[in-house]
Amino acid sequence: MKKILTLILFVTLILTTACGNDSEPGKLRVMLGSNVVSLDTAKATDNASFEVIADCIDGLLQMDKDGRIIPAIAESYDVSPDGKTYTFHLRNAKWSNGDEVTADDFVFAWRRHCQVSDKYAYIMGSTVACIKNADAVVKGADPKTLGVSAPDSKTFVVELDAPVPFFPSLMVFPTFYPINEKFYNSLESGTYGTTHENFLYNGAFVMTSYVPGSASIQLQKNPDYWDAANVTLEKLHYQVVSSSDNALTAYRNKSLDLVTINGNQIEYVKSDGQLSKDLHIITTGLLQYLTFNQDPKNHHAGALSNVNLRLAISNSIDRESLVNNYVMNGSRATYTAIPIDFAPNAKTGKFFAEDQKQFAEYVGFNPDKAKEYFERAKSELGRNDFDLTLIYANDAGDTVIKVVQAVKAQVEENLQGVKITLQPMTKAEYLDKVTTNSYDMAVTNWTPDYDDPMTFFTLWTTEGSEISEHWSNAEYDRIIAECTTGNLAADYNARWNALYSAEKILLENAVIAPLYTGANTNLVAENVSGVDFHSVAVDRVYKHAVVK
C-alpha cells in the first residue's frame, strides 16, 4: 500500500511540474515562420530577422499602430528647404551596456552597411535613400566620404543627393538602425549578433537565449529602454514553426499565442466558435505576379517579346477565382502594379492603388479580349502553338503550387494553342534562373522595403535588379529617374502623378501580370492585445502588446 501511495505521489509530482504548456501572464509566445538569418543589420535579409532586430534595437524613427511615422531614438528632426539634408536630434537613450546611444552609432552602422551588406546594399544608394556617395562606398570608396556626420553626440546629419519624399519612412527599416562601435570592435570578427551575449540592445527587449538557426528565441523586457514605462510585456518567446498544421495544433494546445496559418485551414478555423473569434486577416504589402522573359533570342519563348501574347495571357487569368478558390487566405485580387492598401499619399491619405479599375483595359479577366489579343499575336508571330515554361520556387509552401496550377489551367483553357509546363525548383535555383535569363515565365513576388510605390517601380527599370525581363522603355526609365533624383523628386503631387503614368506604361506593355496582394492569416489568443501589424519594414511590433 505504501508503495502504491508513493507511486501516486510521484506521478502527480511529475504531472504538476512537467505540464505541457507554459503560459503565464505577461509572456507572449509567437510563431516565427522561418529562421532568423542574422541579427546583424547589414546581413539580415528576411522578415523574421527584421522583426527580432526591431524588438531589440530602436532606430531613429518608428511606426505607430496605424503606420504613421513617430519618433524613436530621434526626438525630432529638421529637413532643409531643398529636402536634401536631414538633421536628427537624438534623445537620451542607453545601450544595454550602459553607453549612451549617440549619433556616432548611426554613422558607424551606416558606413559599415555600405561596405559589408549584400542584399540590401542598394537601399542607401541612388535608387532609394540617395545618401551622398553611397553608391561609390558600396563599390569600395572610402566610407568616410558617405554623406553622414555627427556634429555632436546627439545630432545626426544626413546629406542626400536628391530630395527623397519618403526618407523618414526608411528610418523604420532595420538597415538604418545603429550599432555601438566600441562594442562591435570588442568582439571577435564576424561574431556580432551571433549569440544573445554578442549583441547590444537599446530597444524594448533584450534576448536571454539565442544562437543562429535557433528554433526558439527568448526575450525579456529591457528595464533601461527609454520608453520602458509603456512596455507591459515581461517576456517574449519566439518559436520557429515551419508547418502551418503544426502551428495550428500548437495554438489549439495553447503552446503559442500568435500563429500564422494558411488558406487551407481557414475553413476549419471559421467553423470553430472560439478559433473564428481569434482570426485576424492582415493585408501585407506583398505583390504576387507573373513575369515574362521578353528576350527575343530566348529559344522558345521569343514569342513573349510580343506584347499581344503577354496581354492575352494576363487577360485570361481569373484573379478573383485565384484568391477565393486557391489562395484562400484573405489575399486580394490585384489589377495594378502596386499592391492594395500600400503607400498612402501623404497629402490625401489615399493608398496608391486605391483605384483598382484604372488599368482595366490592360489587366483583368476578360476571355473574349484575351482571345482577340491572342489572334493578333498568332498572326504577328506567324504560329499557332506556344509551348511555355512557368518556373516557381516550391519551398515557399503549397500556396504557390496551387496558384501556378490554376494559372496554367486558366490560360490553357482560354487560349487554345498555349501549353504551359510547370517547373518547380528550390529558391536558390529559381533566383539563378530568373537572374540569368533562363526562363519563359515566372511566378514571383516582391515585398516592399519602404512605404512608397518606388520600392516596386525600380524593379522594372532597365538597370533594375533581380529579374531580367529584357524589357527596356526609355520613357519609363526617364519618369523613374525624374522621380528619384530628377526634377520631380521635390514636387510631391507631380511625382505622384508621374508614377501613375509609369504604371500605365508598365501595364499597357504587360511587362508583368499582377495576380494578388498577399495577406497573413493570424490567430491571436483572446487574452492578447496591442500587437501592431505593418505591411512594410517590420511586420509585427510588440512594444505595446498586453497579455492578460
Instruction: Tell me which residue has cell 559589408.
Output: 116
Interaction residues for another protein, span 40-69 (CB under 8 A): 40, 43-45
Interaction residues for another protein, span 450-469 (CB under 8 A): 463, 465-466
Comparing CB distances to another protein, the nearer of 6 and 465 is: 465
Pairing of strands 386-393, 441-446: parallel
Comparing CB distances to another protein, the nearer of 106 and 120 is: 120
185 lines the binding site for another protein (CB under 8 A): no
x/- string (CB under 8 A) for another protein, residues 249-288?
xx-xxxx---------------------------------
Q: How far is the CB of 473 from another protein (least distance, A)?
A: 19
Options 186, 435, 472, 527; binder of another protein; rule CB under 8 A: 435
Comparing CB distances to another protein, the nearer of 344 and 397 is: 397
356 lines the binding site for another protein (CB under 8 A): no
437 lines the binding site for another protein (CB under 8 A): no
**Are 111 and 148 within 8 A, CB to CB?**
yes
**Are 220 and 201 within 8 A, CB to CB?**
no
> 15 vs 6, 21, 40, 53, 488, CA distance in Å?
14, 12, 41, 37, 68
* Distance in angstroms (rounded) separating the CA atoms of residues 212 and 203: 20
210 lines the binding site for another protein (CB under 8 A): no
Of 120-128, 301-309, 373-381, 521-529, the window that binds another protein (rule: CB under 8 A) is 120-128
Of 2-10, 69-77, 213-221, 358-366, the window that binds another protein (rule: CB under 8 A) is 213-221
Q: How far is the CB of 127 from another protein (least distance, A)?
A: 10
6 lines the binding site for another protein (CB under 8 A): no
Q: How far is the CB of 197 from another protein (least distance, A)?
A: 12
> 77 vs 87, 130, 179, CA distance in Å?
5, 18, 20
x/- string (CB under 8 A) for another protein, residues 376-415?
-------------------x--------------------
* Distance in angstroms (rounded) separating the CA atoms of residues 384 and 372: 14
DSSP 8-state secondary structure symbol assigned to residue 128: T
Quick one: cell of 527?
Answer: 487574452
Comparing CB distances to another protein, the nearer of 15 and 229 is: 15
- Type and span of the H or E element at 52: helix 47-56
Q: What are the CB-based long-range contacts (under 8 Å, 24+) for 226-230?
A: 226/58, 226/73, 226/91, 226/92, 226/93, 226/94, 226/202, 227/543, 228/204, 230/543, 230/544
Q: How far is the CB of 169 from another protein (least distance, A)?
A: 18
16 lines the binding site for another protein (CB under 8 A): no
> 41 vs 273, 364, 482, 538, CA distance in Å?
42, 40, 30, 13
- Backbone phi, psi, residue 72, to 5°: -130, -110
Options 78, 142, 380, 432; binder of another protein; rule CB under 8 A: 432
Comparing CB distances to another protein, the nearer of 40 and 55 is: 40
426 lines the binding site for another protein (CB under 8 A): yes
Options 76, 243, 487, 493; binder of another protein; rule CB under 8 A: 243
Options 4, 66, 118, 271; binder of another protein; rule CB under 8 A: 118
**Are 333 and 319 within 8 A, CB to CB?**
yes
- Backbone phi, psi, residue 187, to 5°: -95, 155
**Are 135 and 126 within 8 A, CB to CB?**
yes
Of 51-59, 142-150, 186-194, 259-267, the window that binds another protein (rule: CB under 8 A) is 186-194
Quick one: cell of 391?
Answer: 518556373
- Backbone phi, psi, residue 6, to 5°: -60, -45
Considering only CA atoms, which of 174, 180, 169, 171 is closest in space to residue 48?
A: 174
433 lines the binding site for another protein (CB under 8 A): yes
**Are 155 and 88 within 8 A, CB to CB?**
yes
Options 30, 53, 54, 121; binder of another protein; rule CB under 8 A: 121
Q: How far is the CB of 486 from another protein (least distance, A)?
A: 20
- For 193-262, where are the alpha helices, taking DSSP H only? 244-252
* Distance in angstroms (rounded) separating the CA atoms of residues 102 and 408: 55
Query: Applying CB under 8 A, which residues contact another protein?
Result: 15, 18-22, 35, 37-38, 40, 43-45, 116, 118-122, 138-139, 188, 190-191, 193-195, 209, 211-216, 239-243, 246, 249-250, 252-255, 395, 425-429, 431-433, 435, 463, 465-466
